[in-house]
Structure 1
Amino acid sequence: MAKNLTTREEDYSKWYNELVIKADMAEMSGVRGCMVIKPYGFAIWEKMQAELDRMFKETGHQNAYFPLFIPKSYFSKEASHVDGFAKECAVVTHYRLKNDESGKGIVVDPDAKLEEELIVRPTSETIIWDTYRKWIQSYRDLPILVNQWANVVRWEMRTRLFLRTSEFLWQEGHTAHATEAEAIAEAEQMMNVYADFVENHMAVPVIKGLKTESERFAGALETYCIEALMQDGKALQAGTSHFLGQNFAKAFDVKFADKEGGLDYVWATSWGVSTRLMGALIMTHSDDNGLVLPPKLAPDQVVIVPIYRNDEQFDAVSEVANDLMTKLRAKGIRVKYDNRDTHKPGWKFNEYELKGVPVRIAIGPKDVEKGTVELARRDTLTKEFIPKEDVVTKVEALMEEIQENLYKKAIDFRSNNTTEVDSYDEFKKVLDEKGGFILAHWDGTAATEERVKNETKATIRCIPLDDNNEPGNCMVTGNPSARKVLFARAY
């Protein structure tokens, strides 16, 4: 169980991989580069999905579904888009198999070649904008605010569970607007929705910003992003929202009649988060004992473990446990009563510590006599005995307290691992010895950005949208710089 986990200090990458598998969240599949998300991992993703879906609908969006397959010709209509995804695309060329005539099994039927190859979607802008052309005629048809929950394929050579797999789950919003200002407001709104979700539900602090031109989504005029810092000092992009301008409308000839009777191209956005958020959740909060989950996303917020030696004790303990479970559930708290007789209490304690359940309650015969229970917190690994009648009130308070504690711990870590530097030598020293986020002036050129990336493997994570925009001089070239930007090595 947890005792066999590699420590973070020993090998952070190995710790992460072991934790995902040992906590029963996911495993690699028989398909190279693709994962199986196991029930416990999927239960956490479902919590994320449900909350995000609620937030999308509150901002006026509706869910729809578009094909998995995209005709190859659609990709060639938007040049920068195809350049951005060409190397990651999986391509369907045939539509039938047959038995090999020499008896060697199944082969692709050479006579079943598709007239036009189909791309397995890496993202859906092209198929959606081909569809929007049929939906949009006038300003009365706008805005279109659509979201899709789907899987996508981006062929990966080096994979890691949740963080980078050839197939992954995500949502992708695709909206159409009558004006540039509306589309920009939409892109900014969705970045803020993502930040709200990640901070208030995942308890992960983020920095909101703009991507540099070289880091933008393929086909976007502007990419808004949220960046989070993991415990190993690397950044993780937790969500992106793109202002697409009229690029896709022009590529797919999507025009509308405005209020004055003139014709104009539609303005567009797209935005998405994926199962990478699972990786962010794990790497922000978890420790050498296993997962640490914020209560808002934990499949089980409380687990009750009975301790007994005989049927009489079991009956007495179960009566207390079932009563507590009923009262906690009445308050909307997700409770599991683990009364399996196939595993000992100590084994169960290890299991739920490894799986990150926020609160564990243990009840034994002595507790029944005294009218108490043992309550353990996963975030602090502390235990206390409390009266049975105080459990519901205590647990309700702990749900908020643990959530806030995890966020505070993460934001303190980020503060302690964010460094401002003025020189390139200082930058490289901090990057190698400390890591984390580094704020430094950049002259705004792609050449300087590429040099830093090639020499240090650090990238500009974003141009922060905060008010800290004092001008200065680029740490590399000494040329004028409008403000400091955020650098880090990243996943």
Structure 2
Amino acid sequence: MPKKEEKLGISVKKTEDFSEWYNEVVIKAELAEHSVIKGFMVVRPRGYAIWEHIQEYFDNRIKKLGVKNSYFPLLIPEKFFKKEAEHAKGFAPELAWVMDQEQREKYALRPTSETIMYDSYANWIRSWRDLPLRLNQWCNVLRWEVKQTKLFLRTREFLWQEGHCVYETEEECEKETLIYLKEYKELCEELLAVPVLEGKKTEKERFAGGKTTYTLEALMPDGKALQMGTSHNLGQNFAKAFNIKFFGKDEKEYLPWQNSWGFSTRLIGALVMMHSDDKGLVLPPRVAPTQIVIVPIYFDDKNKIIKKATEMKNMLKNYEVELDDRDGYTPGWKYNEWELKGVPLRIEIGPKDVEKKHVVLVRRDNNKKEFIKVTQLDKKVKETLEDIQNSLFNKAKKFLNSSIVEAKNWNEFVKQIKNKKLVKVFFCGNVKCEDEIKEKTDGATSRLIPFEQPKKLGKCVHCSKEGKFLVIFGKAY
């Protein structure tokens, strides 16, 4: 029986205190919680089940592209980082170290795996016949420079996947770098119902040591962008640093071309922020750990109702279904709890429903109730879950489209940034200029250079020099 003082629901509104609302949803929906170790989190079973759905979806996709899974050590020798200077400098503030007392050697706890993996690649690759090499690993990484923890979005340790591929030609490398970005987009939009913008990063935001970084950016309801995944064309920089070479068909020695690509559990944070409401978690059916909950309503005829509810569960065996037949909780309490946990569809069945051979179907996304004949249940459930998935995406897409604006001058740009918009402007590409924009706007950064660029470019919004490209700026996580 729930304790009287236990507060089941969310105590703050999404529109009034977004940060606290998000924190409550994640914790009360039992997705994750803060660890006793500062900067770390505990991912609870319901949260990890979402990650498993993401893993399963993406793992199947990349295996069809010829990618194989592997695992490399958590500890990375300090000397490996020194081999690629820009990479080492980029990650230096985020590294956590352990010391081998006997050897007096320092090891970094994995922030990303380029260096440890490419040391092995140098031993494995000898000939053009060894290429392409496509490996992925699912693992944890540590980034120590975290000032303020935010569950799933900003923690010192998080889970991710990282793919690392090696190619014979530059063309093949570039082509597949963009293929993995496309796979990320489909994951975000088809599975998570989160619409994204795609493009490449500016020089300032480019991956340390890479040639080109391609990115997907989503916009959260609080007006902040969230990077959903990146795919990096590394060029030959790491091949040079780690002495990865191969003999071509002409028996001459060449440097190969490489890419790396990754996303993390911050996708779960995006999912929560994008779709959830003041009642709690809202999940798209394709990624929900429980898609349907059946709540039996009974008085003196418990066995009869439970029997019918069990038959219904068996009828829906192709879905993730839970039958909530717990004693000591009222139906109303159960409704609230399952709404809080984000189950997309609720089925209510009581004595009158059994008598009339129908059930009540309740959607989590819009609270719409519908009476459905038991004979039509399987068909209706399939249609409704698909409609929920599409409705969540369309709602988020409408929000994204309405939040992208253009600015013709600096004052207009600053105004739109304050209005929590993603702002399209012409930009010179200079790193110093970008730093000044960030400083003057209290944190606005370039999110991406869209693939579709206008034929004619104007002056940079900040320094008035010739613009190199159209860029989308915004505040971000």
| TM-score by shorter chain over 0.5 | yes
Among 299, 302, 310, the alignment partner of 1:322 is: 310
Secondary structure at the counterpart of residue 429 of structure 2: coil
Is the contact between residue 152 and residue 266 of structure 2 (CA under 8 Å) also seen in structure 1? yes
Q: In the alignment, residue 262 of structure 2 is paired with which amino acid?
A: G
Percentage of identical aligned residues: 48
Q: CA RMSD in A?
A: 1.2
Q: In the alignment, residue 45 of structure 2 is paired with which amino acid?
A: P
2-side partners of 1:338 and 1:436: how far apart? 43
Aligned equivalent of 1:105 = none
Q: In the alignment, residue 12 of structure 1 is paired with which amino acid?
A: F
1-side partners of 2:456 and 2:265: how far apart? 36
Is the contact between residue 469 and residue 482 of structure 1 (CA under 8 Å) also seen in structure 2? no
Among 104, 108, 115, the alignment partner of 1:115 is: 104
Structure 1 position 36 matched with structure 2 position 26: no
Structure 1 residue runs of 5 or longer lacking an equivalent are 95-111
Q: In the alignment, residue 83 of structure 2 is paired with which amino acid?
A: K
2-side partners of 1:468 and 1:359: how far apart? 45
2-side partners of 1:88 and 1:22: how far apart? 30
CA drift of 1:128 comes to 0.4
2-side partners of 1:448 and 1:65: how far apart? 41
Aligned equivalent of 2:414 = 428
1-side partners of 2:429 and 2:298: how far apart? 67
Aligned equivalent of 1:108 = none
CA drift of 1:370 comes to 1.2
Moved more, 467-476 or 408-417: 467-476
CA drift of 1:470 comes to 4.1
Evaluate the alpha carbon distance shift between residue 44 and residue 469 of structure 1 in structure 2; reply closer, same or farther with a 3 A threshold: farther
Moved more, 170-179 or 444-453: 444-453
CA drift of 1:158 comes to 1.8
Paired residues for 1:141-290 under 5 Å:
141-155=130-144, 156-290=146-280
CA drift of 1:58 comes to 1.3
1-side partners of 2:35 and 2:119: how far apart? 34
Secondary structure at the counterpart of residue 215 of structure 1: coil
Is the contact between residue 5 and residue 289 of structure 1 (CA under 8 Å) also seen in structure 2? no
Among 302, 327, 334, the alignment partner of 1:341 is: 327
Cα distance per residue 1:358-399 (max 9 Å; x no partner): 100011111111111111101111112221211111110012
Is the contact between residue 345 and residue 364 of structure 2 (CA under 8 Å) also seen in structure 1? yes
1-side partners of 2:412 and 2:54: how far apart? 39
Is the contact between residue 2 and residue 290 of structure 1 (CA under 8 Å) also seen in structure 2? no
Cα distance per residue 1:196-225 (max 9 Å; x no partner): 110111001101110001101111000000
Is the contact between residue 2 and residue 289 of structure 1 (CA under 8 Å) also seen in structure 2? no
2-side partners of 1:212 and 1:4: how far apart? 39
Among 321, 329, 336, the alignment partner of 1:350 is: 336
Structure 1 position 412 matched with structure 2 position 401: no
Q: In the alignment, residue 430 of structure 2 is paired with which amino acid?
A: T
Cα distance per residue 1:101-141 (max 9 Å; x no partner): xxxxxxxxxxx454211111000000100000111000000
Structure 2 residue runs of 5 or longer lacking an equivalent are 1-6
2-side partners of 1:354 and 1:474: how far apart? 47
Q: TM-score, normalised by structure 2?
A: 0.96
Evaluate the alpha carbon distance shift between residue 154 and residue 371 of structure 1 in structure 2; reply closer, same or farther with a 3 A threshold: same
Is the contact between residue 469 and residue 484 of structure 1 (CA under 8 Å) also seen in structure 2? no
Evaluate the alpha carbon distance shift between residue 440 and residue 4 of structure 1 in structure 2; reply closer, same or farther with a 3 A threshold: same
Secondary structure at the counterpart of residue 3 of structure 1: coil
Q: In the alignment, residue 67 of structure 1 is paired with which amino acid?
A: P
Aligned equivalent of 1:132 = 121
Aligned equivalent of 1:57 = 63
Paired residues for 1:355-366 under 5 Å:
355-366=341-352
CA drift of 1:21 comes to 0.5
Cα distance per residue 1:176-196 (max 9 Å; x no partner): 111111111111111110001
Evaluate the alpha carbon distance shift between residue 470 and residue 345 of structure 1 in structure 2; reply closer, same or farther with a 3 A threshold: farther
Is the contact between residue 245 and residue 256 of structure 2 (CA under 8 Å) also seen in structure 1? yes
Secondary structure at the counterpart of residue 204 of structure 2: helix
2-side partners of 1:383 and 1:148: how far apart? 44
Secondary structure at the counterpart of residue 13 of structure 2: coil
CA drift of 1:442 comes to 1.0
Q: TM-score, normalised by structure 1?
A: 0.94
Aligned equivalent of 2:375 = 389
Evaluate the alpha carbon distance shift between residue 246 and residue 291 of structure 1 in structure 2; reply closer, same or farther with a 3 A threshold: same
Q: Give the paired residue count.
A: 469
2-side partners of 1:5 and 1:295: how far apart? 25
Aligned equivalent of 1:450 = 435
Secondary structure at the counterpart of residue 210 of structure 2: coil
Is the contact between residue 453 and residue 470 of structure 2 (CA under 8 Å) also seen in structure 1? no
Moved more, 118-127 or 476-485: 476-485
CA drift of 1:469 comes to 5.2
Q: In the alignment, residue 264 of structure 1 is paired with which amino acid?
A: Y
1-side partners of 2:255 and 2:468: how far apart? 33
Is the contact between residue 235 and residue 436 of structure 1 (CA under 8 Å) also seen in structure 2? no
2-side partners of 1:363 and 1:42: how far apart? 30
Cα distance per residue 1:442-489 (max 9 Å; x no partner): 122222211111111100000011355542222223332244211110
Is the contact between residue 10 and residue 25 of structure 2 (CA under 8 Å) also seen in structure 1? no
Is the contact between residue 10 and residue 279 of structure 2 (CA under 8 Å) also seen in structure 1? no
